[in-house]
Structure 1
Amino acid sequence: MTWFDTYTHRAYAEAVMVGLLAGVVGVQVVLRRLAFHAMATTHATFPGVVLASILGIDIYLGGTAFGVLLSVAVLALTRRPGRTASGAIGVVLAAGFALGAVLVAAGPASDRKLSAFLVGSIVTIDSHDLVVTAAVGTVILALLAVFGRELGFAAFDHDGMRAAGHPALGLDLLLLLIVQAVVVVLTPAVGVMLTLALLVAPAATARLWTDSLRRTGVLAGLLGVGSAVTGLELSRHYDVAAGATIALVAAAGFVVSLLVSPRHGALGRLLDRRPETATAPA
């Protein structure tokens, strides 16, 4: 009997991996202001996952295949003259989610459980899910280690990166595919509706505490793991939905940091604005 033979151990192992992966990748999402794109990706991946489950194939393959097409389509639409990124992504957001809902409704009665993909079910994670998460996470972290400098450059000065001779189109597509892969991996654990919280909140929280890109990545990964594990523990203790609890913990961490972080928090700004006490000359 191994440590992963119980569903509790598998759930905690998955929570650690998806929390770390979402936190680290979320830094790029926050820096590049891709939260709206990430939301569109989560919604538009839904039909790929649903269709794969109905056809009896691996949901990761279905979500990934649909996601690759989605990423290429969004990138092409946003680069056309006279088109805005928000408009293109908004269309994908609505159409993708609507298609997923239609597939769920049109599927066999036994497939109506597919609506569980909306909010996830980390307590039903199996060994296959753990292997996929570990493999995808290793590849993504390796890509970020290799291309992290270029991606960081693009986040702060996209035009400068292009002028410096870096392949802007290739790096943009790489980042979109990385975000898509993370969304697909997170879907069984926290669902398509709640993935955005775990992807954005830890990174946004980390940015409130440090301006260093390297420290932001490390802190975001730790916050992602802490949010996922704490949310899972609270859900077990109070018998509530795990995915929703994880998202609430991540959001709560951001709200608290927004109030108390020393440099960017509301409390820190309030203290900085206190009038200095005038001292009378001797």
Structure 2
Amino acid sequence: MNWFDSTVHRAMIEAATVGALGGVVGVLVVARRLPFFTMALTHATFPGIVIAALLGVDLYLGGGLFGLLVVLAVVALSRGRGQDFTAATGIALSGGFALGVVLVSAQDGFSKDLTAYTVGDILAVSTGDLAATGVVAVGVVLVLILLGKELLLAAFDPTGASALGLPTAVLDFVLLALIEVTVVAVVPALGAVLAVALLVGPAATARLLSDRLAMLFPLAAAIGVGCGVAGVWVSTLWNVAAGASIALLVGLAFGLAFLGSAARTRAGRAAARRLATATGS
């Protein structure tokens, strides 16, 4: 494939944008321990995709709108007596996906191809997709500028945030909505199955590389961009699936960071033992 082909250019831009977006939002996902929710959300929006396909409207718009309903349901259920966030997420996941299956089975001759939503196709993104991703990225950045400190406080210390009088229910909804719109933006590139890779991997890798909160956002964004662009390059070079290539590179980056972190820990402990021995002698 010609490297100067506009298809490749669009794919590179999309990969860089969703990589940065997934990395930044992923810091909040990892801080709040929401990888399961993120994975569940990609499946729970399935009914919205089916309804959109049946009505002949944009699949990602349908998934996004239904996803917001799922977010509201999770927030409401998690605040009910005797319920926790994980249980509410599990209920939303199973209920949402089951509704999608029922809708599909109820349609005789339903043949709408949903493969692109499942596995993604970044090389097929259009100029409109790029514009939509850009709008989502700008919106997410604006929300983080306005509410970033409050969202981080609620993520790291929800009890303290509540004691300070912050509207934790509203902050929960805002955070989950940010994750939802990011999932919808990432799905065209990686698909529903692999989207969670960009929303967890870069941030988890950045966490292994730095303990400084201020560094996590730029580090995660850089890792996401690097893996995204490199994944498209690998895809065009070896003619393999772009979304899977991006997800594999994210996993590789995390694995290398994990091994490096473990090696540093062992080296630090060995140095401490040597120092203790020398001091004792």
* TM score, norm. by length of structure 2: 0.91
Q: Is the 8 A contact 1:41 1:180 kept in 2?
A: yes
Q: 1:141 to 1:25 in 2, by over 3 A?
A: same
- The aligned length equals 275
* Cα shift readout 1:118-144 (whole Å, capped 9, x = no counterpart): 111101000110111001110111101
For 1:108 and 1:180, the matched residues in 2 are separated by 31
Give CA deviations for 1:143-202 in whole Å, capped at 9, x if unaligned: 011111111111221111111121111111100111000011111111011011110000
Partner of 1:64 in structure 2?
Answer: 64
Is the CA contact 1:201–1:254 (under 8 Å) kept in the aligned structure 2?
yes
- In the alignment, the residues of structure 1 paired with residue 278 and residue 69 of structure 2 have an alpha-carbon distance, to the nearest angstrom, of 67
Q: Which residue of 2 aligns with 1:243?
A: 243
Does 1:117 pair with 2:117? yes
- 1:59 deviates by 2.2
Letter in 1 for 2:15: A
- 1:268 corresponds in structure 2 to 264
Fraction of identical pairs, as percent: 45
The 3 A distance-change label for structure 1 pair 107 and 31 is farther
Post-superposition Cα deviations, 1:197-246, rounded to whole Å, max 9, x if no partner, equal 11000000001111122210010001011111111111111111111111
Q: Does 1:32 align with 2:32?
A: yes
Letter of the structure 2 residue corresponding to residue 72 of structure 1:
L
Output the CA distance in 1 between the equivalents of 2:84 and 2:118: 28
The amino acid across from 1:76 in the alignment is: A
Counterpart in the other structure of 2:130: 130
The 5 Å alignment of 1:214-229 reads 214-229=214-229
Please give the TM-score of this superposition, normalised by the length of structure 1.
0.91
Q: Which letter maps to 1:240? A: V
Q: Are residues 107 and 59 of structure 1, via their aligned partners in 2, closer, same or farther at CA, if it must alter by over 3 Å? A: farther
Amino acid at match of 1:276: R
Contact conserved, 2:104 with 2:110, CA < 8 A, in 1? no
Q: How far did residue 38 of structure 1 move?
A: 0.7
Name the aligned partner's letter for residue 49 of structure 1: I
Q: Aligned partners of 1:148 and 1:193: how far apart in 2? A: 28
2:193 is matched with 193
Q: Which runs of 5+ in 1 are unaligned?
A: none
Q: Distance in 2 between matches of 1:185 and 1:80?
A: 31
Distance of aligned partners of 1:230 and 1:109 in 2 relative to their CA distance in 1, 3 Å threshold: same
Paired amino acid for 2:253: G
Partner of 1:273, secondary structure, is helix
Using the TM superposition, give the Cα deviation of residue 25 of structure 1 relative to its aligned residue in structure 2, in angstroms. Answer: 0.3
- Once residues 22 and 279 of structure 2 are traced to their aligned partners in structure 1, the CA distance between those partners, rounded to angstroms, is 55
Change (3 A) 1:45 1:162: same
Whether the 8 Å CA contact 1:46–1:192 is kept in 2: the answer is no
How far apart, in 2, do the equivalents of 1:7 and 1:144 lie?
A: 31
Q: 1-side partners of 2:8 and 2:65: how far apart?
A: 30
Cα RMSD for the two superposed structures: 2.2
> Does the 8 A contact of 1:35 with 1:196 survive in 2?
yes
1: CA distance between counterparts of 2:278 and 2:6?
67
Task: Mark the CA change 1:107 to 1:70 in structure 2 (over 3 Å): closer, same or farther.
Answer: farther
**C-alpha distance 280-102 of structure 1, shift in aligned 2 (>3 A):** closer
Kindly indicate whether the alpha-carbon contact (under 8 Å) linking 1:45 and 1:184 is maintained by their aligned counterparts in 2: no
Are residues 107 and 272 of structure 1, via their aligned partners in 2, closer, same or farther at CA, if it must alter by over 3 Å? farther
> Does the Cα contact within 8 Å between 1:39 and 1:93 map onto a contact in 2?
no
1:97-246 correspondence to structure 2 within 5 Å: 97-103=97-103, 106=107, 108=109, 110-111=111-112, 113-246=113-246
Deviations 1:58-78 (A, max 9, x none): 223211210111000001111
Q: How far apart in 1 are the matches of 2:142 and 2:110?
A: 42
Q: Is the 8 A contact 1:104 1:114 kept in 2?
A: no
- Letter of the 1:69 counterpart: L
Any idea what SS the aligned residue of 1:128 has?
helix
- Note if 1:41 corresponds to 2:41: yes
